[in-house]
Structure 1
């Protein structure tokens, strides 16, 4: 397997941000000179390790790299990859429900421009997630109420604290108050990790244990049930 090479401006080869395959890239420039209103597409011919395109001084210009494996394009401006949008935020947990995943991914797209908006969306994500957890059978209600019901049903303290962290910071994104989230991107960044942790704790871990337990032979299960029945305190 070839070593990963991050997408880089005017480089001849890197892992394509569209298909993720390490592949040669061809570069093109789209620009509009100050003296003309007609956009021009100019193929840039480059050799390995160098960029030999014409220097242009138009009123605006963007670059396009074309992956030679998937034939898809990536859009660059002033050396910065604009599309597809890339982020260092963690991917959505594999077990995240689709309804929640859509909200989560929307939050990743706005985080760069507005941590407050991202925090508000993550709050909406856990508000959407809780009624979907089959284990607890919680009906849709105010988020604070649903977290309280989870506490009554015995979730660990650290899970409650994680959910309330997302709830409170997300609420600040909707109703600015004591916490200035645009000045504290670090806490919002952590909220993305936190919601994945909540998925792991409330959905994935129990599912994995149940699947493993279901493979235990029936006679062994019977022995476990007898043990538990006999271990209960007698009146």
Structure 2
């Protein structure tokens, strides 16, 4: 599982090259600033400055010049730059949000996820960076559709989860369903997930939904596929064993044993 870009984290999946790599962090300094009323003398660009040659002022990585009289030492607040060890490309952050390049988490829907649920899953993933709260709302829609799919009818998420538990759904799957239900509900109605949160917390919701699909749909399909490839006589032997066990159980009930 790769980790999404997160402010000041020492390593994550690079938004430029996609490699999970170490990241170096830099503050941003201005090459110049707009004149203010406190300026006594009008600032003139030096003959060697970018402005003198009609060039756009550059933003470079690293420590600024120690010349305290240079306006290149002016720190730009709330802007950070990360540099990938693998590709040496930079990423620009404003506050806690990655602004450039655009990052779409590489989270693929489970291969056996029903199409209607997959559409919401993919759309949620596409807006995760820009709106974690909006992504959480779509994940909740996907969970509701998944529960309805498993139950076989439209139900409230809480009631649907209990129905599945009554039908024998493992406790670990119940915990995953309730975790997604509670987190997404709180994020939508209480605003506990917002644009200032790192992507790691919101990304876990997608992995949980994939895990629920795997445990409730994927394993059944895989088991049926493998079982169906067994020799017919072996399958018949197993079916006879099951029928024999059922008759024995029924006889025990009838005799009160």
Query: Which category of TM-score, normalised to the shorter sequence, fits these structures?
Result: 0.5 to 0.7
Deviation at 1:212, TM superposition (A): 1.1
Pick the structure with greater CA Rg.
2
Q: Kindly provide the CA deviation profile for residues 144-163 of structure 1, in whole angstroms up to 9, marking residues without a partner as x.
A: 11111111111000000101
Superposed, 1:1-235 pairs within 5 Å as 8=16, 57=56, 80-82=100-102, 86-133=103-150, 137-176=151-190, 180-182=192-194, 183=197, 185-231=199-245, 232-233=248-249, 234-235=251-252
Distance in 1, matches of 2:193 and 2:100, equals 25
Deviation at 1:55, TM superposition (A): 8.0
Q: Is the 8 A contact 1:151 1:160 kept in 2?
A: yes
Which secondary structure does the structure 2 equivalent of 1:206 belong to?
helix
Q: Is the 8 A contact 1:89 1:189 kept in 2?
A: no
Q: Kindly provide the CA deviation profile for residues 118-137 of structure 1, in whole angstroms up to 9, marking residues without a partner as x.
A: 1121111011122334xxx5
Structure 1 portions without partners, runs of 5+: 1-5, 9-13, 16-53, 59-75
How does the TM-score come out when normalised to structure 2?
Answer: 0.55
Structure 2 portions without partners, runs of 5+: 1-13, 19-52, 58-90, 94-98, 253-257
Deviation at 1:77, TM superposition (A): 9.5
Point out 4+ residue stretches in structure 1 off by more than 4 angstroms.
76-79
Which secondary structure does the structure 2 equivalent of 1:111 belong to?
coil
Q: How many residues align?
A: 162
Cα RMSD between the aligned structures? 2.9
Distance in 2, matches of 1:117 and 1:160, equals 24
Q: Is the 8 A contact 1:119 1:166 kept in 2?
A: no
Residues 184, 77 of structure 1: alpha-carbon distance in 2 compared, 3 angstrom cutoff: closer
Distance in 1, matches of 2:54 and 2:230, equals 69
Task: Point out which structure has higher relative CO (alpha carbons under 8 A, 6+ apart).
Answer: 2
Deviation at 1:220, TM superposition (A): 1.6
Deviation at 1:190, TM superposition (A): 0.7
